[in-house]
Structure 1
Amino acid sequence: MAGDDGFAVLRAELDRWSESGRTATLWWRDDDAVADSAALQRLLDLADAHAVPLWLAVIPAALEDSLPAALAARRALGVLQHGIAHLDHALPGERKCELGAAWQWDVLRAALQGGRARLAAAFGQRFRPVLVPPWNRLHPGWIPRLPEAGLIGLSTLGPRRVQPGLAVVNVHADLIDWRSRQYAGDAALAAALARHLAARRRGEADAQEPSGIMSHHRVHDAAIWDGAARLLALLAAHPAAAWHDPATLWHAAVAEGAPPC
């Protein structure tokens, strides 16, 4: 559903936060970044226009020199590690997964370390050694071992349960309906965000986890761009909505001590 009315359920939930004197914190993660492009510049301009501290999940093996240069003059923007090469290594019958059970841990650890080193060298202080698994999934046995690869955090999809010693901050609303590869629609996007916000407000989910929005700028069409702009305008105008401080996002999740993943 297009147009402002499609966000009514989200606006109503934000009103409830406002009535209780609470701030609904949010964050934005854009996946699959590899290079500068017109689409990337449009994303960065949109984030700047609404003062959004954008996080880019960058694919280490596909990184091009143009991307660090494109970010050099931008503020309030950080970089996360989007797997290794965004390749499917799922076993037969499994859903797409780069970081699945097919790996030997020593081999996977070395590949993750290599990707981390490449991003750290390219982006310096912008980079946080936080893993964003392609397709938002990985073999659960690897999660407690991620610090062995020098990774301090993890970001997937859905309400978080923090692994001890590992910062977990997830996303909860996707701009894209991947079955059709089209804009999810104002109503679906609003409902997903409102669900997580309501669960936080009621104590049914970790109240300290910011509600996360996920995008993929490389495949956005006009409808997705327009929907993103409408959402950001709504959030900018509502007194209860605020973007989480990027300086504290990845260590606060550990300190808050949410249940284990």
Structure 2
Amino acid sequence: MTGWDSLARELACWHDAGKVATVWWRDDDAVAPTDALERLLTLSRKHTAGLGLAVIPERCETALAGTLSAAVRQNQAEIAVLQHGIAHENTAPAGEKKTELSRAAPLNDTMERLKSGQSRLAGLFGQGFLPVLVPPWNRITPEIIAELPACGLTGLSTYKAREQPMAAPGLLQVNTHADLLRWKPERGFLGETEALGLLQTHLQDRREGRADADEPTGILTHHLVHDEATWTFLDRLLGWLKRQPAIKFLAPSEAFSHSALTNQNEKQSAAGKGPM
């Protein structure tokens, strides 16, 4: 049995249970118009797949705004800009895993730079900017998380299944769960079986109650460093997912809709289950 077969069987379980499996797509590290970015946007347009593009505020070129504006006019699917940290610079002490949003810098300084980055992205991309923070390397300290709503951020996205929907009051967390790249020992495509397995595992965990059933399953890509195998697989994956009746491919604004979460909690409460 192939990875595609296993994923199809999992989606059949969702379909038989009368459930719809939500999926979303995030791509990290955008800073400028490039051939790789154009290829990414072409796939979004080809498959009518919404895309959350995590842009680095302090490294972002103004030309990117024009590129995305043109892409939005050509694309029926939503392309939303998310805030990818500050400058994507490691501040962790030597010997610790790379982290930009760490305890190393004074908290006030970090929050001011986050606010400044948010203002820059909002100014460049207007309504195309969602106030969602994507921490570089998917790492962030709890002290910073607690302060994010105060600086206008309403969403947080890291990696692996979330522990709870709200990372802090007013801060909805929606993560990614299937990174298509292998980073060590050499960077390259993770592999078809492994990538499909990550998707299948999170979907099964949602369905069987080991993970939050309401968290959309997230695909994670990094267009600037894709090899040809990654591009080929991503093209096939997006097309395959869009053809599945048990899949609803969410736009980023849908994935980070607080009203949708509120409505879900109200339905659960009315059914006597209480919020998850």
Q: Same fold (TM over 0.5)?
A: yes
* CA displacement at 1:148 relative to structure 2: 2.0
Q: State the AA in 1 paired with 2:85.
A: G
Distance 1:85 1:254 in 2: 31
Match of 1:170 in 2: 175
Distance 1:51 1:10 in 2: 21
Match of 1:181 in 2: 187
What is the count of residue pairs matched by the alignment? Answer: 256
User: Does residue 211 of structure 1 match 2:217?
Assistant: yes
Match of 1:77 in 2: 79
* CA displacement at 1:165 relative to structure 2: 1.7
Match of 1:103 in 2: 105
Q: SS at the partner of 1:31?
A: strand
* CA displacement at 1:246 relative to structure 2: 3.6
Using the size of structure 1 for normalisation, the TM-score is 0.93
* CA displacement at 1:190 relative to structure 2: 0.7
Q: SS at the partner of 1:167?
A: strand
Q: SS at the partner of 1:195?
A: helix
Distance 1:124 1:9 in 2: 41
Distance 1:92 1:100 in 2: 12
* CA displacement at 1:174 relative to structure 2: 0.4
Match of 2:58 in 1: 61
Asked if structure 2 preserves the Cα contact closer than 8 Å seen for 1:165 and 1:254, the reply is no
Distance 1:149 1:88 in 2: 22
Alignment of 1:221-260 (within 5 A): 221-252=227-258, 255=262
Distance 1:86 1:13 in 2: 36
* CA displacement at 1:175 relative to structure 2: 0.7
Cα distance change, pair 181–5 in 1 and its aligned pair in 2 (3 A)? same
* CA displacement at 1:8 relative to structure 2: 2.2
* CA displacement at 1:217 relative to structure 2: 0.3
Q: SS at the partner of 1:28?
A: strand
Q: SS at the partner of 2:205?
A: helix
Q: State the AA in 2 paired with 1:174.
A: D
User: Does residue 193 of structure 1 match 2:199?
Assistant: yes
* CA displacement at 1:97 relative to structure 2: 0.3
Match of 1:33 in 2: 30
User: Please, which runs of 5 or more residues in structure 1 have no aligned partner?
Assistant: none
Distance 1:113 1:63 in 2: 15
Match of 1:88 in 2: 90
Q: State the AA in 2 paired with 1:17.
A: W
Q: SS at the partner of 1:72?
A: helix
The 4+ residue runs of structure 1 with deviation greater than 6 A are none
* CA displacement at 1:248 relative to structure 2: 2.9
Distance 1:95 1:246 in 2: 28
User: Does residue 7 of structure 1 match 2:4?
Assistant: yes
Distance 1:215 1:150 in 2: 26
User: Does residue 48 of structure 1 match 2:45?
Assistant: yes
Distance 1:55 1:127 in 2: 10
User: Among the aligned pairs, what percent are the same residue?
Assistant: 46
Distance 1:48 1:192 in 2: 25
Distance 2:42 2:25 in 1: 14
Q: SS at the partner of 2:90?
A: coil
How big is each residue's C-alpha offset from its partner over 1:133-164, in whole Å with a ceiling of 9 and x where there is no partner? 00000112211111122211100001112223
Using the size of structure 2 for normalisation, the TM-score is 0.88
Q: State the AA in 1 paired with 2:98.
A: K
Cα distance change, pair 209–127 in 1 and its aligned pair in 2 (3 A)? same
Q: SS at the partner of 1:248?
A: helix
Distance 2:27 2:182 in 1: 15
* CA displacement at 1:235 relative to structure 2: 0.5
